[in-house]
């Protein structure tokens, strides 16, 4: 399905990574070390200089009009090579909402900061009691002249401690269908009345937070689109991750790492990789990745990658997250032979002492622990199964 120009594009991306991806950043990513805001910004600014920070955006807003396949190629190559994750909240989520539904002033104010990575965003959708059932959200925005007064709270907001702005779903009307009274607000996190509290996750790291709003005054001008129509924009935003949600590039990278570890770990005088039971599990994963990739390619070939996500996207989410968990589970199994180290201090960016266990063992353990969340975020796998059941069985 890839055309000669797609192959040329892949070569161009590879050459760029070889020349421009800083080795220290790459090594830290491959070892699973923690990255800080300035690390993400450093890489994102390199992409920006190359014109590739938002390649999938339309040219008129600073993108390259990439096809879905070009975007896929870019993601696959950068992820496999060990480039830092591009924090998606600005580039992939709110940016497209702003250029699609925002007014000219909002585009002028927000798009440049997203492209340069000088402004970081986070996503304020979930609340206690409004995760899978998102339309049940209770954070309220009451109109007061040319402001909304926001009260309530958001939970599981990834990276809000690094962010400058949050895009939030808030309730602006009561009664009627729950989805109909929701609006989409852009909120400056420095506004008085906002408190951010960390949530330390199972890997003992700080990715997540709870964000509280107490009488926070937000200009009405910061509302995207129409009042009470936020659900439409919220759904559009989620549809942008249709195929990439499978994270095939990351799966391939972790699988290669697992293979290396198993080749270097001996049991009964032979590498674990040659153990019959172990290699059977490896083959299952390897086949799983190939099938998943083929499914993604079929989606890309069907030209529906930009359409709202249907049951196919749910299948990709389920298989991708399950494979991620299978790989990290096996990594732990390999490391178990060395006494399961989880030396949390070795994740610090400036740690320069010898690690216990194989190179990257701590990062791998973190990947395993945090990977438990992969079947929850982005719409839990149970919810995805409901979507598939509805589509397949018409329930
Ligand atoms: C690491 C991580 C990062 C996140 N980052 C963000 C973020 O940046 N911004 C943000 O807004 N949110 C974020 N979330 C929140 C995420 O979207 C929610 O956790 C997710 O939607 C599930 O909602 P919940 O946690 O409220 O669980 P619940 O909805 O309470 O579900 C609890 C359990 O019940 C199951 N369940 C619920 N309803 C059904 C049903 N109808 N049928 C079958 N089973 C059901 C679920 O599958 C789950 O197993 C993040 C979550 C995690 C774990």
Q: 28: CA distance to ligand 1 center in Å?
A: 29
Percentage of the chain lying above the pLDDT 90 cut: 75
Q: 47: CA distance to ligand 1 center in Å?
A: 32
pLDDT of residue 354 exceeding 60, the answer is yes
pLDDT band at 336 (very low <50, low <70, confident <90, very high): confident
pLDDT of residue 357 exceeding 80, the answer is no
The predicted pLDDT at position 348 comes to 84
**Tokens at 38, concatenated:** 């300035």
Task: Supply the mean pLDDT for the chain.
Answer: 92
Domains plus CATH for the chain?
4-86 (1.10.540.10), 121-234 (2.40.110.10), 241-393 (1.20.140.10)
Pocket test for ligand 1, best of 122, 123, 126, 153 (most atoms within 8 A of CB): 126
CA dihedral 269, 273, 276, 277 (to 10 degrees): 110
Q: 133: CA distance to ligand 1 center in Å?
A: 8
pLDDT of 147-170, one tens digit each? Answer: 999 999 999 999 999 999 999 999
Give, in order, the Cα–Cα distances in Å from 91 to each of 41, 53, 311: 12, 8, 25
Give yes or no for a contact between 79 and 250, defined as CB atoms under 8 angstroms apart. Answer: yes
CB of 126 within 6 A of ligand 1: the answer is yes
CB of 359 within 6 A of ligand 1: the answer is no
pLDDT of residue 305 exceeding 60, the answer is no
C-alpha 76/C-alpha 243 separation (Å) is: 12
Give the per-residue SS3 of 342-394: CCHHHHCCCCCCCCCCCCCHHHHHHHHHHHHHHHCCCCCHHHHHHHHHHHHHC
The predicted pLDDT at position 310 comes to 73
Which carries the bigger pLDDT value, residue 2 or residue 221?
A: 221
Q: 132: CA distance to ligand 1 center in Å?
A: 5
**Tokens 């006494």, residue?**
339
pLDDT of residue 81 exceeding 80, the answer is yes
Helix or strand (DSSP H, E) at 48:
helix 37-50
CB of 321 within 6 A of ligand 1: the answer is no
What residues have CB less than 8 Å from 216, skipping those under 6 apart?
149, 150, 151, 187, 191, 192, 193, 194
The predicted pLDDT at position 189 comes to 98
Mean pLDDT of 340-361: 78
CB of 155 within 6 A of ligand 1: the answer is no
- Please identify, by atom number, the ligand 1 atom nearest to the C-alpha of residue 126: 11
C-alpha 201/C-alpha 122 separation (Å) is: 17
The predicted pLDDT at position 355 comes to 76
**Tokens 């070009």, residue?**
70
CA 30 to chain centroid: 17
CB of 325 within 6 A of ligand 1: the answer is no
Look up 293 and say whether it is catalytic: no
pLDDT of residue 109 exceeding 80, the answer is yes
Minimum mean pLDDT among 249-253, 292-296, 297-301, 326-330: which range? Answer: 297-301
pLDDT of 10-66, one tens digit each? Answer: 999 999 999 999 999 999 999 889 999 999 999 999 999 999 999 999 999 999 999
C-alpha 81/C-alpha 75 separation (Å) is: 10
- Please identify, by atom number, the ligand 1 atom nearest to the C-alpha of residue 373: 53
Percentage of the chain lying above the pLDDT 70 cut: 96
Q: 233: CA distance to ligand 1 center in Å?
A: 20
Pick the residue whose CA is nearest to atom 27 on ligand 1: 131
Q: 239: CA distance to ligand 1 center in Å?
A: 17
Mean pLDDT of 327-341: 85
Q: 378: CA distance to ligand 1 center in Å?
A: 8
Give yes or no for a contact between 344 and 369, defined as CB atoms under 8 angstroms apart. Answer: no
DSSP letters for 89-107: IIIIIIHHHHHHHS-HHHH
Give yes or no for a contact between 369 and 202, defined as CB atoms under 8 angstroms apart. Answer: yes
The model carries a pTM of 0.92
pLDDT of 169-193, one tens digit each? Answer: 999 999 889 999 999 999 999 999 9
CB of 132 within 6 A of ligand 1: the answer is yes
CB of 121 within 6 A of ligand 1: the answer is no
The predicted pLDDT at position 337 comes to 80
DSSP letters for 255-282: HHHHHHHHHH-EETTEEGGG-HHHHHHH
Give yes or no for a contact between 349 and 35, defined as CB atoms under 8 angstroms apart. Answer: yes
Minimum mean pLDDT among 138-142, 153-157, 184-188, 267-271: which range? Answer: 267-271
Closest CA to 280 of 339, 326, 325, 316: 326
CB of 163 within 6 A of ligand 1: the answer is no
pLDDT of residue 235 exceeding 90, the answer is no
Residue tagged active-site, from 75, 241, 312, 367 = 241
C-alpha 183/C-alpha 228 separation (Å) is: 5
pLDDT of residue 341 exceeding 70, the answer is no
Q: 299: CA distance to ligand 1 center in Å?
A: 26
pLDDT of residue 306 exceeding 70, the answer is no
CB of 72 within 6 A of ligand 1: the answer is no
- Please identify, by atom number, the ligand 1 atom nearest to the C-alpha of residue 160: 8
Q: Let me know the angle formed at the C-alpha of 294 by 245 and 78, rounded to the nearest 5 degrees.
A: 50
Give yes or no for a contact between 255 and 241, defined as CB atoms under 8 angstroms apart. Answer: no
CB of 210 within 6 A of ligand 1: the answer is no
Pick the residue whose CA is nearest to atom 22 on ligand 1: 131
C-alpha 377/C-alpha 382 separation (Å) is: 11
Minimum mean pLDDT among 8-12, 49-53, 113-117, 243-247: which range? Answer: 243-247
CA 360 to chain centroid: 22
What phi-psi label fits residue 99: left (phi over 0), alpha (psi between -120 and 50 degrees) or beta? alpha
Pairing relation of β-strands 121-124 and 165-171? parallel
Helix or strand (DSSP H, E) at 287:
helix 276-301
pLDDT band at 298 (very low <50, low <70, confident <90, very high): confident
pLDDT of 362-378, one tens digit each? Answer: 888 889 999 999 999 98
Pocket test for ligand 1, best of 127, 314, 377 (most atoms within 8 A of CB): 377
Pick the residue whose CA is nearest to atom 51 on ligand 1: 377
CB of 138 within 6 A of ligand 1: the answer is no
CB of 370 within 6 A of ligand 1: the answer is no
Query: How many Å is the Cα radius of gyration of the chain?
Result: 22
pLDDT of residue 382 exceeding 60, the answer is yes
């Amino acid at each position: 399905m890839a055309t000669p120009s797609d192959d040329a594009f892949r070569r161009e991306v590879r050459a760029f990574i070889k020349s421009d991806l800083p080795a220290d950043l790459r090594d830290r990513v491959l070892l699973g070390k923690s990255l800080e805001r300035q690390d993400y910004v450093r890489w994102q600014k390199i992409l920006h200089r190359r014109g590739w920070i938002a390649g999938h955006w339309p040219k008129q807003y600073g993108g390259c009009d990439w096809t879905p396949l070009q975007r896929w190629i870019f993601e696959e190559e950068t992820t496999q090579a060990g480039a830092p994750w591009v924090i998606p909240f600005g580039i992939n989520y709110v940016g497209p909402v702003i250029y699609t539904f925002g007014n000219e002033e909002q585009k002028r104010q927000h798009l440049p900061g997203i492209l340069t990575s000088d402004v970081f965003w986070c996503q304020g959708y979930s609340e206690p009691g409004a995760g899978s059932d998102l339309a049940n959200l209770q954070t309220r925005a009451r109109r007061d002249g040319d402001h909304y007064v926001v009260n309530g709270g958001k939970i599981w907001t990834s990276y809000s401690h690094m962010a400058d702005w949050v895009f939030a779903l808030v309730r602006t009307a009561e009664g009627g269908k729950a989805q109909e009274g929701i609006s989409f607000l852009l909120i400056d996190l420095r506004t008085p009345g906002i408190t951010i509290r960390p949530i330390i996750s199972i890997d003992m790291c700080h990715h997540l937070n709870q964000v509280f709003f107490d009488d926070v005054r937000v200009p009405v001008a910061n509302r995207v689109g129409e009042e009470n129509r936020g659900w439409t924009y919220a759904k559009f935003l989620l549809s942008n991750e249709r195929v990439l949600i499978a994270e095939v590039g990351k799966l391939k990278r972790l699988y290669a790492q697992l293979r290396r570890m198993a080749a270097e770990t001996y049991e009964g005088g032979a590498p674990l990789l040659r153990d019959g039971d172990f290699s059977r599990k490896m083959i299952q994963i390897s086949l799983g990745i190939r099938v998943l990739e083929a499914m993604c390619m079929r989606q890309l070939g069907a030209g529906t990658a930009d359409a709202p996500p249907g049951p196919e996207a749910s299948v990709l989410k389920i298989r991708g997250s399950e494979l991620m968990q299978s790989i990290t589970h096996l990594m732990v199994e390999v490391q178990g032979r060395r006494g399961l180290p989880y030396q949390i201090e070795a994740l610090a960016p400036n740690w320069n002492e010898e690690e216990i266990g194989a190179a990257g063992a701590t990062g791998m353990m973190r990947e395993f622990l945090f990977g438990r969340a992969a079947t929850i975020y982005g719409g839990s796998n149970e919810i995805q199964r409901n979507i598939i059941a509805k589509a397949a069985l018409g329930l």
